[in-house]
Amino acid sequence: MTDAELWELILISQGNSATAIALYISLVSGYLIVGYLAGKKLSTTQCVVITSLFSALAIGIIFQIVSYLDRAAFFVQFVSNKYISPTTGAMQFVPEISAIGFTLGVGACLKFMWDVRNPKTE
């Protein structure tokens, strides 16, 4: 496989991860908007259904993001050194960092919904 073909595969994987990140942002935005506007009005069953769907979809999208980024990092190791920039070497850490960051984002969304549904009384 030539360097050009490897770079094409790397860029396709990164493009796929960017698409999955856009889906993640849309999902998180929708969940937060629903939580903010209707969180207090939702029944417990409705909240459980929405939160379960959100969590399942978010975890699935995070797996996609990480797998695409991991595939791109895998292909980089086969590219000739003359085409690699200094920052490309850090690409191997991006999948793990992304997984942690996006998972913390899901946790923050769940905490937000909890706070909306269970406000502190002073």
For residue 101, give the nearest of 65, 68, 76 by alpha carbon: 65
> What distance, in Å, lies between the first and last C-alpha atoms of the chain?
66
113 burial via Cβ count (<10 Å: 0-12, 13-18, 19+): buried
This prediction's pTM: 0.89
pLDDT digits (tens, 9 = 90+) for 36-90: 999 899 999 999 999 999 999 999 999 999 999 999 999 988 887 776 777 777 8
- Cβ-count burial 7-26 (b if 16+ within 10 Å, e if not): eebbeebbebbeebbeebee
Q: Name the DSSP class of 79.
A: S
User: What residues does each domain of the chain span?
Assistant: 3-117
Percent of the chain with pLDDT over 70: 98
pLDDT digits (tens, 9 = 90+) for 88-105: 778 889 999 999 999 999
